[in-house]
Structure 1
Amino acid sequence: MKQYDAVVIGAGAAGLFCAAQLGQGGKSVLVLDNGKKIGRKILMSGGGFCNFTNLEVGSNHYLSQNRHFVKSALSRYTNWDFISLVVSYGITYHEKELGQLFCDEGAQQIVEMLETECEKGGVEILLRQAVGNIQKNAKFFEIQTACEQFQTENLVIATGGLSMPALGASPFGYKIAEQFGISVIPPRASLVPFTWKESDKVFSNLSGVSLPITASTRHKSFSNQMLFTHRGLSGPAILQISNYWEMGDMVEIDLLPNENLIDVLQELRQSSPKLQLKTVLSRYLPKKLVELWLAQKMLNDQVIAQLSNADLQYLEQLIHRWQFLPNGTEGYRTAEVTKGGVDTDFISSKTMEAKNVQGLYFIGEVLDVTGWLGGYNFQWAWSSAFACAEGILNKR
């Protein structure tokens, strides 16, 4: 039976980064993954350009049952620390919007950087290794794959959540947690598009139409682009608000967040009463959206002069306070992350070690930590991995 100082299960962002830190710190490290290649989710992220962190990172950008849990790790390995590593490899990057940093040449650069970092530490990586059984005796964890057995004092679970099952996502990490008496907050798809109710499917005719909006639910609001799709609503603003949405919640959408429609229409009612309502609204909103919506409300041929004050109030609510009730979400298939996961009450925020099982660690998305859209989930991967490695390296 081969023995290592640490075994990391999961060759994604958190697992590779943790393994590299441990290896370079002098530990013998094995990484196991059931996939054909390392960093599969990294390669898919950010449209293939990997939104690897954000210029502004704070605990307020994360959701968890314990909102203070992320603070320690984020403060000890910051976004600037990872940016420095990226720069040291000559990887050029750009800010897209809202502090989001992307590789100029592609996500493969981040994967290659992590692979090189692992090589520097002498990390052994074994792929296509489905872990079957894990047991713990007084000192060691014993890990059984289809054809080999491994032994370690430090077992790191970096298997991610349930999002993007096509890339090999599974509940493995949650099952290990439960095996060792650690609770799991029920997982669900997050940073995910909404789907139409039957009564709203007429809007699928607007597929491809995009516009800036403000979406709100549960006292949280996000302003960014929204995209109509065949299945429902997507785009950055919708993905962000999905983090806070619960089934049955209404989402309020302001389709014209930078204008006051009432003021515009009242002024035009005086100055240009013969203007068609459709013409006016098309100055501010996509024409296809205006035509569909006004046809639905039988206002398509109205001129401004015909609008009563009640009509103005109705239009104001329609445009600025559209009450959208999602049928649900597109689920894990298209979700960027998983909300919920290993309960952080059972985990040390300083080292990521299970409080009740010495030598067992959980890092990255497998934990009940969900970041906003925009590089925050990758930063959590780097920060939690570093905290874990530091904890193992500092063990007496």
Structure 2
Amino acid sequence: MSESSFDVIVLGAGAAGLMCAAQAGARGRRVLVLDRAEKPGKKILISGGGRCNFTNIHTAPERFISANPHFAKSALSRYTPHDFIALVDSHGIAWHEKTLGQLFCDGSARQIVELLLNECAKADVAVACDEQIGRVDHSGVRFAVTTQSQTVDADSLVIATGGPSIPKMGSTGYAYDLARQFGLKVVEPRPALVPLTLGGEDVLFRELSGVATPVEARCGKAAFREAALFTHRGLSGPAILQVSSYWQSGAAIAIDFLTDKERDWLLAEKRDNPGSTLRSVLRAALPQRLADELAERLSLDGPLANVPDADLRVVGARLADWRFQPNGTEGFAKAEVTVGGISTAELSSKTMEAKRVPSLFAIGEAVDVTGWLGGYNFQWAWASGWAAGQVA
């Protein structure tokens, strides 16, 4: 075997690609990883505020979005958060759990990149960065990849170049172009885990830029209890990022601003504090600027004692189901991940191999599987990369 020939070529030195390469190399396969960035793991390094939210202990298939909601079950069950935690522990990386099962490095996200590179080095994997892929050819037996500096070939090819989210990190839709070259279908990609923009009557809420508060945000059947943040363009914060993955143009999102209040809490407030006003009770429960804006829009003046119970019920229901009509998102530039991608109908759920193109694999964000905020997408990268690495 010459220096230009390998058993496996992995396109993409991100989380999924490096995991796959290390696994294949550990089986004795000669592996080459190619990446257009100047260094591996660029998106890993900026994740989790630089500390890498590397998995979530509550990982479950229903916390992933896909045209086929069952597809992720096989890989996720075969390589679990506990498997990756064991790998992290074996490298002596200290970590901690934050809210909702999210695990972060105590130190730096760089530790996760170093872990992956050390695993690759241990398995004699070659990693070549700053390689611009010019073309990929397939003879029917082997794959040939031509870059600006070389042409290499291999028995197996793994697409691990991610999706178009965060283009400033070098992300593109190349995975989809390559998939289509081989006749694989692509589910239309759209930004996910992304801030939503507001227009029309909702535009005045932009004046609350910087105000954050715990809410329950809902879109369709999806509901998330975390913080929402008003921005100069619309809505953000964890709860909004979560529902953004389910939101599609023309749909509304619903916000419950007072998740800890009982259904008829305003009637109880009227009974216990008849002289209070809607503005005053909202100020006691919400940030002042938000309370004032909501009170202004609800136009309920005077002491609660003077307000009919039916009106108070209507106001309470509105506060628990406040509808916003986003006019868009902040796009791939601000999206953490992508919904859509290479169709799971084209792939084996066990191996991630293309059904119609033997020895071609697709993993990670390139595939139509998208996790919730909070480490789920990293776990999909580890699990799908591990699955492909067992057979590539």
Question: Which category describes the TM-score, using the shorter chain as reference length?
Answer: over 0.9
**Quick one: distance in 2 between partners of 1:374 and 1:271?**
41
CA shift, 1:242, in A, is 1.3
Deviation per residue, 1:295-339 (Å, 9 max, x gap): 34444x522223223431332133111011111111101111100
**Aligned ranges for residues 96-175 of structure 1 at < 5 Å?**
96-175=98-177
Q: Taking structure 1 as the reference length, what is the TM-score of the superposition?
A: 0.95
Q: Which runs of 5+ in 2 are unaligned?
A: none
Are the counterparts in 1 of residues 267 and 313 from structure 2 also a CA contact under 8 Å? no
**Quick one: distance in 2 between partners of 1:223 and 1:138?**
50
Equivalent in the alignment of 1:243 = 245
**Quick one: distance in 2 between partners of 1:383 and 1:368?**
14
Equivalent in the alignment of 2:195 = 193
CA shift, 1:261, in A, is 6.0
SS at match of 2:264: helix
Equivalent in the alignment of 1:284 = 285
Counterpart amino acid of residue 207 in structure 1: S
* Aligned residue among 14, 24, 29 for 1:12: 14
Q: Taking structure 2 as the reference length, what is the TM-score of the superposition?
A: 0.96
Are the counterparts in 1 of residues 216 and 224 from structure 2 also a CA contact under 8 Å? yes
Are the counterparts in 1 of residues 66 and 340 from structure 2 also a CA contact under 8 Å? yes
Counterpart amino acid of residue 57 in structure 1: T
**Quick one: distance in 1 between partners of 2:220 and 2:276?**
38
Deviation per residue, 1:213-246 (Å, 9 max, x gap): 1111212211111111111111111111112111
Equivalent in the alignment of 2:66 = 64
CA shift, 1:364, in A, is 0.4
Kindly report the root-mean-square deviation, in angstroms, between the aligned alpha carbons of the 2 structures. 1.4
Are the counterparts in 2 of residues 371 and 377 from structure 1 also a CA contact under 8 Å? yes
Counterpart amino acid of residue 86 in structure 1: V
**Quick one: distance in 1 between partners of 2:286 and 2:245?**
27
Equivalent in the alignment of 1:371 = 371
Deviation per residue, 1:79-124 (Å, 9 max, x gap): 1110000011111111111111111112111011111111111111
SS at match of 2:163: coil
**Quick one: distance in 2 between partners of 1:355 and 1:71?**
18
Equivalent in the alignment of 1:293 = 294
Deviation per residue, 1:337-380 (Å, 9 max, x gap): 10000011111111111111111110100000011111111001
**Quick one: distance in 1 between partners of 2:163 and 2:254?**
29
Counterpart amino acid of residue 52 in structure 1: F
Are the counterparts in 1 of residues 276 and 304 from structure 2 also a CA contact under 8 Å? yes
**Quick one: distance in 2 between partners of 1:295 and 1:346?**
53
Are the counterparts in 2 of residues 350 and 391 from structure 1 also a CA contact under 8 Å? no
Structure 1 outlier segments of 4+, above 3 Å: 296-299
Equivalent in the alignment of 1:23 = 25
- Higher mean displacement: 164-173 or 301-310: 301-310
CA shift, 1:170, in A, is 0.7
Aligned residues: 390
**Quick one: distance in 1 between partners of 2:235 and 2:262?**
24
Counterpart amino acid of residue 54 in structure 2: F
Deviation per residue, 1:370-391 (Å, 9 max, x gap): 1111111100100111110101
SS at match of 2:261: coil
**Quick one: distance in 2 between partners of 1:356 and 1:325?**
42
SS at match of 1:282: helix
**Quick one: distance in 2 between partners of 1:34 and 1:281?**
52
**Quick one: distance in 1 between partners of 2:58 and 2:170?**
31
Are the counterparts in 1 of residues 24 and 391 from structure 2 also a CA contact under 8 Å? no
**Quick one: distance in 1 between partners of 2:140 and 2:362?**
20
CA shift, 1:138, in A, is 3.1
